[in-house]
Each structure stands twice: as C-alpha cells, then as structure tokens.
Structure 1
Amino acid sequence: MKKLSFINKIIYILNSLFATFLLLSYFLPFVSPKAMAGFAILSLLVPILISINIVFVLYWLINLKKQLLLSTIILVMGWFFTPPFYKLTENTSSLNDDLKVMTYNVRMFNHWKWIDDETIPKKINAFVEEKTPDILLFQEYYSLEKQQFSYPYKYIKTKNENAKIGLAIYSKFPIINKGSLELENTSNNIIFADIVKKKDTIRIYNLHLQSLQLRPDQENFGEADSERLIARLKDGFKKQALQTEVFLAHEKGWKGKKIVAGDFNNTSYSWVYNQISKDKKDAFIEAGKGFGKTFNYWFPMRIDFILTDENAMINRFNSFSEKNSDHFPILAKINW
C-alpha cells in the first residue's frame, strides 16, 4: 500500500469496498429476509459486484501489482461456493422421451402496449409453436388476450373470479390433479398440476413470487425516490420469504418426481432461491451456457428458473432472447 501512487491508493480503497460487499453477499443464502430485509437487497447486485471485482483484477494485473490478490481470492471463493455467474460449457444431449418444459413470464401478452408492437401476442404464440414444449408455464397470463395454444390439457388460475391476471399450466399429458396455494395479501401466486406421462406422475409447480417492481427505465434515484425504492424492495423481500415458506410446507406433501419452475423475482444468490433449490437440480447449472439471463435488465439477471428433483437428468437448457416481454423464456429437456 505504501508503494502505491495516490491514485492507486484511492483505487485500492474502492477495490476493498467492493470486494467486501461481494464477500458479504456470500452469506445471503443463509439469512432470511424476514430477519434482515435490507441485506437481501444485495442479492440483486451480485452480478454487478462480480463484474466490478473482475475489472479490479484486470487493472492490477495490467499494472503488475500484488493488490490483484484481494479480488482474485474472493472471486475464487465465489466460484466454489456460489451458483455460477457464467457457464462455460453446456449439455447438448437428448433423448426421444425427454420432457420439454418451458416457463415464460409474458407480461400480460403486452396488453397495455408496454412494447410498441401490436403483434406481440402472435409472436409469443408463434414462438411457442416453434419450440413445442410438452409443458408450458406462464406467469402474468392475461385472460382477456384470447391466445390459442394447441394443448389438450390446461390449468389457468386467476387470483379470484374478478381478476384477469394469473398463472397457467399447459400440458400435452393428462392433468389428474391441480391446485392453488392462494398466497395472501398479494396478486402473486403459486399453482401446481400433476401430470401423467406413461406410468409416471410428475408434479409441476408454477411459481410467481412477490414482484419487486423494478423499473430501471422509470426509477428516479433522487433521495426521496431512493428511500421509497428501498422500502418497496424490503417489503417485497419479506413477502417473498413468507411465500417461500408456504411453498416449502406444501412441497413436503409430495415425494415423487417434480419440476419447480417460474418467476422467482430474485436471483440465485438469494435466500429464497437457496431454500427452494435445496435437494434439487437447477437446469441452467446442469446444462446451460453463458449468463442464462432471463430478465431484460441492463446487466445479466437470472430470476426465472427450472428446477427438478435430484433423480432427474437435465439433457438440455436454453434461454432465449425474444423481446416480447420484460422476461425471456427458458426451456429445459428433462428425463428420469
């Protein structure tokens, strides 16, 4: 530190600050937002913290300074103990009887014209027909948009009889049981359907956890609005924690094959993801490549997931770049 120039000393102080934040983020999966809601906000920033620390490593490497060790050590720790930020390899195997599962937050099929394109509903329909998933999960399904998806079985659940927004499960296989967890004090929900594929009964959960209402193109980060934003995020994280507990309690009643998918509205570095993904396989981690980005944000944010029980094989995972919503669809090929 003594041999550093004044500028480099300032840079190293900033480096130490961001490295400390990244190190603290490694504890996020073990701290419930009900206890420390403010700390949970850090889960949204982990990809940024990783990127910034990589830049510091490159800076010190170019300048041949041993200060590169600080961020390097913390990044290496994260490589071994946290979900991957970027996947270098992928699984491209395939079996004829793979179950193709897609989850897609369709943002009400653009009913309120957030995207200046009248053909968005048709584009979503054409995309689904092209990919032909066996199981199709929608979040923010809007019943007033008369979408025609060619599936013999479906379960569509709005929050109540008067609501038009909800969740949907479409299936090529018979649905023999279905239900809703009826989350309280929110417009979000969790539904499930038991499908029969040959001799197997597979439970499909479709999750849409509490929305954080992130609007990067609209937020004014002045002092007053920042306080409101933080307050809203804290409240959202607390609700997500409660909803996760409701899901986990319900999930205990099912011991068979299962798929848990949907929009978690949180990242893989969060307590919510850690709790839901226990004893499960993450399709992106098992078979994906790249960032696995699922939310149309200015940095790679993965908040939509496809998880399976530990006995499943994930033969393929794809995240797509179709900008028909503020989310991107993801698809996995699964077998047992």
Structure 2
Amino acid sequence: MRGLALHPLHQTTSEGPTLHVLSANVRIFNVYPQLRNEGLQSSKAMIKWVAEHPADIICLQEFYNEPRPTNDGAVFNAVRQIGKLQKREVFLSKTLSNGIGGEFGMAIFSRFPIARRGTIVFNKLTQNHGMWADVCLPSRDTVRVFNAHLQSMSMDEKDIVDSYSSKAGLKAKGLGLLRRFKRGMVARSTQIDTLVRRIEASPYPVVLCGDLNDFAYSYSYDQLADRLQNAWATAGTGFGATYNGKLPFLRIDNQFASRDWQVENVRVRRDIPYSDHFPIEAVYRLKPLIK
C-alpha cells in the first residue's frame, strides 16, 4: 500500500552487489538566522551526522556549502566535511550564491567513482531541479543515481493547522491554501514529466532520491510508481512519515528504484530532528542478470 506499508517479514536475497543510500532535505543546514540555535549546535550536529553516515551514496536537497571560512569559521564547509571523512566524490549542483560565497543547491556524494554527471533543469534553474550521476560500483556495474527537489507546496504549517481547527480558520485560510496547493500541483506535474523522461532514457539501473513535496496518491508519485518501485512501499512498515512538523503521516520524501534492484531494507530516521524533514536510508541489492 502507498500510504501504510506492511512488510514485517520482508524477504531478501544474498546475491548481487549492494548499495546503501541516504537521502535528506537538510534545510540549508539551518544557516539562516531564524533557523539557528545557540552555538550553531543543530547545524554542526546535522553536518557531522551526515559526514559520519556509512552510506555509499548520499543525496541531499536544500544543500548549503561555504567553501571559504567566514565569521562562523568552517562550520558550513559541508562539501569538505562530508566528502573528506569517508573519501567521497561530490557532485554539487549549485543554483545560487550569497554575498559571502556560500553555495545553495543539491548534492550527491559517492564512495565510488562518478563517471558522468548532469543537471536537469525544470524550465529555469532554481532550487527546484534535478541532477544525476553515473556511479561505478566495485562489481564493475554502473548505476544512475537521480536526486530531485520538486516545487514546494508553499503553504505555511500554521495556516494549514488553523484551517482545519475551526470554521473561522477554514473561512480565513482555506481558499488561499487551495490556490497555493493548485499552483504547486501544476508546477510539480510539469517537473515530474521532465524527470520521468530522463529516467526512461537511463541505460543503467536507477535509484532516485527526492523531496517530492507531494503525497503518495498524487500525479507525481503515480508517474514514478508506474516505472519504479518505491522503497518504503516495497520494504517499509508503517506510514513512513518524513515531515518533521505538526502535520501527521506526511511522506513527502521518497526513494525509488528500478526493477533491477531488490530493496533489502528501508528506514526513516525520525531520531535525526535537525531539519523539518527526516532522512531516509535504504539498502538495495542489484539483481543478477538472467542469462
């Protein structure tokens, strides 16, 4: 089931190479003043946790990096910290810079060589875009990893809570929320069509990580689920909610994989609270070719 997955006795195989994948919307590592806490503790903890994670592939949305030390020292030098500890290659898809040279965008880190890479533009290059990397596994197999961030719902959590808490709240907030939801849905439908075309053109087994900003019964999810297997729906148990906020049961972050893969296991890391999204980690096993 898309919403509630029930796989307590998920069966796996022992043949074929594995790929451990971590994906997360890291909310620019809380660099903005309104997101910071004392001593930048959440920023430091989030970058340290990602850097120490044993995943082979790390896909990050809302990524932020400061290549040169600033008044905050090297706290936000995320590329160096995450790449250096486990000798990962990095593909940073940069969308914009700030006045101190800080870089915003998305990133793919890999413990294995990246042979080719590219950016997928949705109309124009913004924080909402896609990227891909061809990764060469030790087994000599090549796989294509996609990382994507679709259009935000552009709806404030407090407005949503107010709208369903009372009739007055619904009257005051409901119409505006509906308009914003519609605009986001139209934008995401165009973006997912672009992304799907690139997935269908892949010559290699595919793993897709992304913040879809959409529900399990949406057009965006449908287009991916028609072509790929959703990791949580295949091997998870429970709702798999990834939104770290007051709205329950929202799984807007996902990992998908082509049928070339066996989903060994998947987990939403609800113990990692530094962003408004919980990370997802999964292990995939590449199925042997049938001769």
TM-score range, shorter chain: 0.7 to 0.9
Residues 158 and 317 of structure 1: CA distance in aligned 2, closer, same or farther (over 3 Å): same
- Write out aligned runs for 1:1-336 (5 A): 83-87=2-6, 89=8, 91=10, 97-112=17-32, 113-114=34-35, 116=37, 118-144=40-66, 145-147=76-78, 148-149=81-82, 150=85, 151-160=87-96, 164-185=103-124, 186-198=126-138, 199-217=140-158, 221=163, 222=169, 223-297=171-245, 298-321=247-270, 322-336=272-286
Structure 1: tracts of 5 or more residues without a match: 1-81
Aligned length: 255
> In 1, Cα distance between the equivalents of 2:157 and 2:88?
39
CA apart distance, 1:119: 1.1
> In 1, Cα distance between the equivalents of 2:216 and 2:95?
27
CA apart distance, 1:115: 5.6
Higher percent of residues as helix: 1
The 8 Å contact of residues 23 and 59 in structure 2, kept in 1 or not, is answered as yes
Structure with max Cα Rg = 1
> In 2, Cα distance between the equivalents of 1:334 and 1:259?
9
After TM superposition, the structure 1 stretch with the greater mean CA deviation from structure 2, 151-160 or 110-119, is 110-119
> In 2, Cα distance between the equivalents of 1:232 and 1:269?
18
Structure 2: tracts of 5 or more residues without a match: 67-75, 164-168, 287-291
Alpha-carbon RMSD across the aligned residues, in angstroms, is 2.3
Q: Aligned AA for 1:125?
A: I
Q: Aligned AA for 1:153?
A: E
What SS is found at the alignment partner of 1:301? Answer: coil
Identity within the alignment, %: 27
CA apart distance, 1:88: 5.2
The 8 Å contact of residues 5 and 233 in structure 2, kept in 1 or not, is answered as no
What SS is found at the alignment partner of 1:217? Answer: helix
> In 1, Cα distance between the equivalents of 2:194 and 2:256?
18
CA apart distance, 1:213: 2.6
Moved over 4 A (4+): 92-97, 160-163
> In 2, Cα distance between the equivalents of 1:129 and 1:91?
29
> In 1, Cα distance between the equivalents of 2:198 and 2:230?
20
After TM superposition, the structure 1 stretch with the greater mean CA deviation from structure 2, 147-156 or 117-126, is 117-126
CA apart distance, 1:296: 1.4
TM superposition score normalised by structure 2:
0.80
Residues 235 and 228 of structure 1: CA distance in aligned 2, closer, same or farther (over 3 Å): same
What SS is found at the alignment partner of 2:182? Answer: helix
Q: Aligned AA for 1:271?
A: Y
